[in-house]
Structure 1
């Protein structure tokens, strides 16, 4: 399940509740108006009850619309923040690669390592021999000052999770 799925489902449920509640409110308002036009004498309590229900439904509609608006704004903020984080992480990665002096081929391999591909998969994607990818990986680790893939990945995880201050 993606992180935003629960919020999207919640927004859809709120939207359907708004539609259903609006239809109910319209029914009760229409019924009150029809009873007023008919002029029935015995409808005082009945009209008051239906009018109260319609009022409560309209207030509920307002609350639901407010909640839906807040949820949609929150979803937009989260999406914007994630996009910014991805962009900043890309800049951080490029900064590390530039500091280490990685060649274009090493940059490609390093990105694929960060994406979780193993050496054989990287070799297949790049159309190179697995030995070439292992040699490039070793050069990347040496330039980064780490002993292997796990430490290499942890450099970026630490940067991602680091306190901005």
Structure 2
């Protein structure tokens, strides 16, 4: 916007000085004065042309950036879709493992919340049960899985991603 305003000002200066040069020639003004005002017309024209060129180049660059951004957004969208698919597949793998261990529905719910990093108190609040019940279910999960504690339980599911 600023460049467009400056360009319009330069074009206005150029036009007004050009008209002044024409009038001065008709009035018989000294030659050095006509040359001086003609130089202002030429310099204003050069300045306006440079600004127009710069604005055109900048707009072209912005169009390319917009295309690149649109392409990046498409790629992100595609990756998000793939991540969602993989998340669903991984959830199924986790559920299959829970079933393999013979976890009850309640234990599976607690196990998922443990994997998400919730504390026993938070799990009891989410499930609307007593904290002691959550602790007992967690002990049962560890026993059925053959794992010792929350950290080993979580690590069992994350281990393959870290290798």
> What TM bracket, shorter-length normalisation?
0.5 to 0.7
Q: What are the within-5 Å matches in structure 2 for residues 130-141 of structure 1?
A: 130-141=131-142
- 1:145 deviates by 1.5
Of 103-112 and 44-53, deviating more is: 44-53
Residue deviations 1:13-61 (CA, integer Å, cap 9, x gap): xxxxxxxxxx467x37x849x77xx695734534532332233223222
In 2: Cα distance, 1:115 partner to 1:142 partner? 20
Q: Give unmatched runs, 5+ long, in structure 1.
A: 1-22
Q: What are the within-5 Å matches in structure 2 for residues 77-88 of structure 1?
A: 77-88=78-89
Q: Report SS of the residue matched to 1:81.
A: helix
- 1:121 deviates by 3.0
In 2: Cα distance, 1:105 partner to 1:91 partner? 17
Mapped contact 1:100–1:143 kept (Cα < 8 A): yes
- Residue in structure 2 matched with residue 71 of structure 1 by the alignment: 72
Q: Kindly tell me the number of residue pairs found equivalent between the two proteins.
A: 138
Change (3 A) 1:66 1:98: same
Of 40-49 and 140-149, deviating more is: 40-49
Q: Give unmatched runs, 5+ long, in structure 2.
A: 19-37
In 2: Cα distance, 1:123 partner to 1:46 partner? 73
Q: What are the within-5 Å matches in structure 2 for residues 8-19 of structure 1?
A: none
- Residue in structure 2 matched with residue 111 of structure 1 by the alignment: 112
Change (3 A) 1:55 1:114: same
In 1: Cα distance, 2:102 partner to 2:66 partner? 54
- 1:128 deviates by 3.0
In 1: Cα distance, 2:2 partner to 2:71 partner? 24
In 2: Cα distance, 1:64 partner to 1:103 partner? 54
